[in-house]
Amino acid sequence: MAHLTLGIETSCDETAAAVLEDGRRIRSSVIASQDTLHAPFGGVVPELASRRHVEVIWPVVQEALARAGVTLAELDGIAATAGPGLIGSLLVGLCFGKALAFARNIPLVGVNHLEGHLYAATLDHEGLSFPFTGLVASGGHTNLYLATAPGVYRLLGRTRDDAAGEAFDKVAKLLSLGYPGGPLIEEWARKGDPNAVRFPRSVPPRGSYDFSFSGLKTAVVNYVKGVGGAVLQPSAFSLQPDLVADICAGFQEAVVDVLVRVSLAAAKASASRRLVLVGGVACNGRLRSKLTERAAEEGVQVYYPKPSLCTDNAAMIAAAGYPRLLRGERSLLSLNADANLTLGLT
Ligand code: KG4
Ligand code: ZN
């Protein structure tokens, strides 16, 4: 009999549920995005996010069950994100998972969102095995891990300030491009010249795998101020489209350059020479092509899941929860959401 796991994810601004068969086969994956709700604010408004999660969590779970052709009674386990993320958002999905588990007597495990991101790669790459080096580059994190075995992680490096996705979002806001910034900057960058404006790269000292993106963001702000020659008023401020495209291309190239350099250095130093790239920023086409090219030169095998598995989804949460459920691990109903939950030893 197949094992059916229901995944629930509400750590930020996506309400997601998925049904996974035997930890690998996605029977359904439903994602209710809140992008249009937060777009006018240029970023996620936590209070609005949690309210929307409350409204849509049950319909989203029902839709996931219906698409999978599965009833609650047939579920073998529930995996719900317990952290890290926005506390109000996390609480909705986790409490919902706990209530379902209690009401229907279904085993429950709380899942670390970051472990979920790493597991997304296993859904698209059957041949991927531990150990591997994994870069989680999202709106909230830029963390580099050594994933030794399921559940065993070492944090090799992380951002000291802004996350890579956060930098994309902030620069997009500065240029009045919209939200979320990553895909919009990528689109603009395609029309620009990555060498027209060269922004600084922050490369960590030898032996460190930490990242830093705030200096780059400030450099973009200063550049825009310089060419604008005025106090920055993004809404009233309009740059020539060609220049916007060049700024986007130059900025994207700088972020990509650093992510590729640091993650490849870590992968090369590991025995496995396998590198997993996940999180929303892993959708970026320029990052994928540059990493593929450089990794081939360095003899590193790169794995990235399709874009819909890179951004927040519940299939990855079910995938990370599945081996735990199988091992008999259970979370108590007293499990609380933790906005600052960490993953792995440092
Ligand atoms: O993993 P994710 O969906 O949510 C978090 O856990 O944060 O990542 C969202 C982030 C946002 O900052 C978004 O701008 C960025 O991923 N992102 C991208 C692209 N698509 C999404 N960044 C660069 N290029 C993209 N194509
Ligand atoms: Zn995420």
Going by pLDDT thresholds of 50, 70 and 90, the confidence category of residue 227 is: confident
Give yes or no for a contact between 275 and 264, defined as CB atoms under 8 angstroms apart.
yes
Q: Give strand ranges (E) for the chain.
A: 4-9, 14-21, 25-33, 77-83, 108-112, 132-137, 142-149, 152-158, 274-278, 301-303
First to last CA, the chain: 39
The Cβ of residue 144 has, within 10 Å, a number of other Cβ atoms equal to 25
Using CA atoms, how far apart are residues 11 and 280, in angstroms rounded to an integer? Answer: 14
Does residue 187 register a pLDDT over 90?
yes
User: How confident is the model at residue 304, as a pLDDT?
Assistant: 94
Q: Which domains does the chain have, with CATH numbers?
A: 4-118+311-326 (3.30.420.40), 128-304 (3.30.420.40)
Task: Give the residue among 98, 106, 54, 66 at the shortest CA–CA distance from 80.
Answer: 98
Mutate to test the pocket of ligand 1, among 81, 86, 281, 313 (most ligand atoms within 8 A of CB): 281
Is the pTM of the predicted complex or chain greater than 0.75? yes
- CA of 136, closest atom in ligand 1: 1
CA nearest ligand 1 atom 7, residue: 139
pLDDT per position as a tens digit, 112-170: 999 999 999 999 998 899 999 999 999 999 999 999 999 999 999 999 999 999 999 99
- Looking from the CA of residue 180, the nearest atom of ligand 1 is 14
Confidence of residue 228 (pLDDT cuts 50, 70, 90): low
Q: Is the CB of 183 under 6 A from ligand 1?
A: yes
Q: What is the mean pLDDT of the chain?
A: 95
Q: For 194-229, b where at least 16 C-beta lie within 10 A, e where not — what string?
A: beebebeebebeeeebbbbbeebbebbeebbeeeee
d(CA 183, ligand 1 centre) in Å = 8
Centre of ligand 2 to C-alpha 293, Å, is: 26
Cβ(284) – ligand 1 distance below 6 Å: yes
Q: Is 107 in the pocket of ligand 1 (CB under 6 A)?
A: no
Binned at pLDDT 50, 70 and 90, residue 259 comes out as: very high
Q: How far is the centre of ligand 2, averaged over its atoms, from the C-alpha of 230 (Å)?
A: 36
Closest ligand 1 atom to Cα of 117:
1
287-339 confidence digits (pLDDT tens): 999 999 999 999 999 999 999 999 999 999 999 999 999 999 999 999 999 99
The SS3 assignment for 25 reads strand
Mean pLDDT of 263-287: 96
Statement: residue 231 has pLDDT above 50? no
Q: Determine the distance separating the centroid of ligand 2 and the alpha carbon of 16, expressed in angstroms.
A: 12
Spatial distance between the Cα atoms of 137 and 262, rounded to a whole number of angstroms: 12
User: Which pLDDT does position 235 carry in this prediction?
Assistant: 43
